[in-house]
Structure formats: C-alpha cells, structure tokens
Amino acid sequence: MRNTGIGLLMLVMLVCSVASADTITFQNGVGGYSGLVDGSARSESGREKYNFGAYSQVNVGWEAAGQELVGFVDFTNSINQIAAGQTITSAKLGMYLVSAEDQNSVGDRTISAFAMLKSLNMGTKVASDAAAGEVCWYELARHQTKWGNDTSNAGPVSGMDYTTTYGGSLVINPSQNGSYVEFDVTSIVNAWYTGALTNRGFLLREVDEVNRTRVNFGSSEGSSTPYLTVTYTPEPATMSLLLLGGAALLKRRSA
C-alpha cells in the first residue's frame, strides 16, 4: 500500500510536469520559422498608392494633419502549429521600437493591435507604387479591392477590414527607443486558435491621432524582427485522462 501511495504521488508530479505551460515563439529565423510578412500604408499626399512590403520598418502613427500611417504584421503558418486541445493562456506580439518620434514633445502615445478581417498581399516595394493586388492606403489590393468596399480612399475601415472586438493597446514612450515592446494579443490568438476568427494577421494603428507621433518598428527585412510568443497548457480533460490511466496502471501493478 505504501508503495502504491508513493507511486500515485510520483504520478501526480509527472502529470503536473507534463501539464505545465509550454511556450512557442514565431519569429523569422528562429526554429526554422519563416512565415512572417509585414508592411505599412501611408495616407499623406503622393504616397497613398505606395507599397512598403520590403521596407526596413513598420510605421504607425501620425506625421501631420491628415498624414496617418498604419502597420500590418502577419505570422502565417503559426497558430496551426499548436496541437488541438490546448488552452492558450498568453500571447505577446513583440515589436522592436526603432524610434518613437517626438518632435512636439508629445511623449506617451497609444498604439493598438487589431485582428485583420481580410487577407493582404504585403507586396515587394520599398516606398514605391503598389503593383496590382498589393496593399496600399488607397486600396486593400491595388486595382482590385477597395478598403471596406469604400470609394473614398480613406484607408482601412474599422469593423470591415479589421475588428475592434479583439485587440490589445500599448502606451509607448520615446524612452523605450531601442528595445522591444510587447502587445497583449491573447484575445486575438485565442480567437484564431478556436476558429472564431481566421488568422489574417494584425493591424497596428495609433488611437490618439496626435500629430508628430510617428512610431517606427523593425520589420521582417531587418535584424530586429517582430515575434509572436504563445504560452499554452493541455486542457483539463487531457490531464484527467493521464491521471486515470496512470492510476489504473498502478492498481494493476500493486494487485
């Protein structure tokens, strides 16, 4: 009986070890992963048709009145690598802050990460006219699809091109320049994992709409690339089955 008790204790310790949280990071060049694509779109006159798919930065924020920049980050072939039956407890979108420009001593600004509702062709341009199908400010897909089926060339449309139901906001300050900042995107990744949303990546947008608050992040073309870190644990049902199966095995051995 004493040996059986010790065996059960060891079993519980083993199951707790197996059920402990696991973490996976998706970042180009890490563990063979290469599915990250990113880009930006800019509304200022003369650049509304530009594509930035191969640009060295992902730009977000405002340069001046009517000059907005939004960023896109898409980790393709990522969440589907996590086996079924897990419980996602945390997901962080890491972006390297090259610089948070502060020409008017604005200081803090809030950037939000939303879930894209439509797929994007990030393109291959470095601040030049988008080719057919590539994303730009004027169109979701140049010469093919308008943002939100809109004809006003007003950029991504909330609720149609990206959702505000899921998302995470982050206050960014110029004092953080030269370091990674992390958005809590657990709700978005959970929605992807459960099938409530299709993984089409993130849209980054400044919610303050304050002039001279442009934020420049590292892109997939640089050395400090975005990453997505997901922490998850096995579902309770799986742990219960492990305990029951182990207990039955110990019972047979002690008989």
Name 173's Cβ contacts closer than 8 Å, sequence gap at least 6.
100, 107, 108, 109
Q: Dihedral sign, CA of 142, 145, 146, 147? A: negative
Distance CA 221, CA 214 (A): 20
Instruction: Name the range with the highest mean pLDDT among 13-17, 56-60, 105-109, 232-236.
Output: 56-60
The pLDDT confidence band at residue 58, using thresholds 50, 70 and 90, is very high
Q: Is the model's pLDDT at 212 over the cut of 60?
A: yes
Name 255's Cβ contacts closer than 8 Å, sequence gap at least 6.
none
Instruction: Output the six-digit token pair for 1.
Output: 């009986």
Mean pLDDT of the 173-182 span? 97
In this prediction, residue 9 carries a pLDDT of 44
Distance CA 225, CA 37 (A): 10
Q: Is the model's pLDDT at 175 over the cut of 90?
A: yes
Name 42's Cβ contacts closer than 8 Å, sequence gap at least 6.
48, 50, 52, 59, 67, 68, 69, 137
∠ CA 121-165-158, nearest 5°, is 50
Distance CA 12, CA 19 (A): 10
Q: What is the pLDDT of residues 141-163, one digit of tens each?
A: 999 999 997 777 889 999 999 99
In this prediction, residue 205 carries a pLDDT of 96
In this prediction, residue 243 carries a pLDDT of 47
In this prediction, residue 10 carries a pLDDT of 47
Contact between 180 and 94 under an 8 Å Cβ cutoff? The reply is yes
Instruction: Name the range with the highest mean pLDDT among 98-107, 131-140, 209-218.
Output: 131-140
The pLDDT confidence band at residue 254, using thresholds 50, 70 and 90, is low
Distance CA 41, CA 72 (A): 8
The pLDDT confidence band at residue 249, using thresholds 50, 70 and 90, is very low
Single pTM value for the model: 0.85
Higher pLDDT: 168 or 20? It is 168
Give, in order, the Cα–Cα distances in Å from 204 to each of 59, 111, 116, 183: 9, 7, 10, 10
Name 211's Cβ contacts closer than 8 Å, sequence gap at least 6.
62, 63, 64, 65, 104
Burial-class residue 79 by CB neighbours within 10 Å (0-12, 13-18, 19+): buried
Among 70, 22, 7, 82, smallest CA distance to 44 is for 70
Among 16, 87, 20, smallest CA distance to 243 is for 16
Mean pLDDT of the 204-231 span? 94
Q: What is the pLDDT of residues 5-48, one digit of tens each?
A: 555 444 444 444 445 789 999 999 999 999 999 999 999 999 99
Distance CA 193, CA 213 (A): 34
Instruction: Supply the mean pLDDT for the chain.
Output: 87
In this prediction, residue 19 carries a pLDDT of 55
Contact between 78 and 200 under an 8 Å Cβ cutoff? The reply is no
The pLDDT confidence band at residue 164, using thresholds 50, 70 and 90, is confident
